[in-house]
Amino acid sequence: MRTVNIAIVGGGITGLSTAYFLTKKGIKDVEIFEAKYVGYGSSGRCAAGIRASFTSRVHVVLMKEAIEGWKKWNKSIEGLEFNQAGYLWLLTNDELVEQHKELMKLHNSLGVPTKLIGREEVKELVPSIQLNDVLAALHDPTAGKASPFHATMALRRYLIKAGVKIHEYTPIRSIKASSSKATEIGIEGAGSLKIGGSLVIAAGYWSKELLYKLGYELPVVGDPHHLLITEKVAPLVKPLVIHKESGSYINQVLTGGLILGAEYSVPENDLTLRAGFIVKAVKHMSKYFPQILNANLLRVWIGYYLKTPDNHPLIGLVPGYENIYLATGFSGHGYMMSPIVGEELANLIINGRTKLPETAELTPDRFKKGKFLEEKAVFG
């Protein structure tokens, strides 16, 4: 039976980032196992946004670090482009304006220079917008966007050159453990593989099924979210723009298409496409960008926000095990957080501790200890 030092289950951007930092830190014999293809899950289905403008201190600190990571990747990984075009949160009632004044203070205190701006400044930032009922907006200039397809493929190419083996269409169906350590993983149709060092579970929604077989019930639910994209249109909007009251948003990607998202209720774990989402998303955002109505719809898709009880991820050792590390439950933010999450998983595996104290607050056993964080800025 063959042995691997570090086995990573999940070929999304969290698994890729973890492999990246392990290899950068000199770790050899790292292999990634993906049931479909790299970027198949939530990584490849997200809206490409990257921001630090959250409501919890933990998220703000982690995302500030993650943005620095995206900037480094932009310079060092060929084919990966991070466009720091900002986020703009449209505020349409007095209560939201007051809430975001306080939120700005939190961001600024943690080194994220968000700013509450008036209607004139909104129009300067986004000349194409119809302001209508917009009273003000929170501008996050450090935020940006990066194509999920380009980012995952660029990391894939980098890792292969670095000697990491990436096994696509290779589902892991079981984990064997002895004396609180993972000893083997079972590969569908290909027997088993010994774990010489550590096992990383970063398989998004499918992490739940895999860990359940090991006797650990992952405290997450699969919350489906739709997105649509139009064909390429003339430059319309540079920052990602969110209508805070409705949770709708628009993002013009680097290839010129418009991504639209909106709150649209779907039963848990149900990835069936609903035409009603299209109507709702277009109705909300065309109020501010009527140009949308002249764009041709290209595609609609759906993917999971894997949500935890407090909308914060689970990062660290699986309770009861010494060498099984978990990174999941990002509640819609795993793609943007990936540089810091991969770095912190590598730190845990190599040094037994994280770089940031905030990461240590995200251990998978925190709910059983009665420790709950809070995040309100989850949308789309």
pLDDT tens profile 46-103:
999 999 999 999 999 999 999 999 999 999 999 999 999 999 999 999 999 999 999 9
- Residue-level pLDDT at 213: 87
- Residue-level pLDDT at 148: 97
Give the contacts of 118 (CB within 8 A, at least 6 positions apart): 136
Tell whether pTM > 0.85. Answer: yes
Class of domain 87-141+222-306: alpha beta
Q: Encode the chain (380 residues) as per-residue pLDDT tens digits.
A: 899 999 999 999 999 999 999 999 999 999 999 999 999 999 999 999 999 999 999 999 999 999 999 999 999 999 999 999 999 999 999 999 999 999 999 999 999 999 999 999 999 999 999 999 999 999 999 999 999 999 999 999 999 999 999 999 999 999 999 989 999 999 998 899 999 999 999 999 899 999 998 989 999 999 999 999 999 999 999 999 999 999 999 999 989 999 999 999 999 888 999 999 999 999 999 999 999 999 999 999 999 999 999 999 999 999 999 999 999 999 999 999 999 999 999 999 999 999 999 999 999 999 999 999 999 888 86
Query: Where in the chain are the domains?
Result: 3-47+149-220+309-362, 87-141+222-306
Give the contacts of 72 (CB within 8 A, at least 6 positions apart): 339
- Residue-level pLDDT at 380: 65
- Residue-level pLDDT at 354: 97
Q: Which residues of 65-98 are buried (b: 16+ CB within 10 A; e: fewer)?
A: bbbebbeebbeebeebbbbbbbbbbbbbeeebbe
CATH superfamily of 3-47+149-220+309-362: FAD/NAD(P)-binding domain (3.50.50.60)
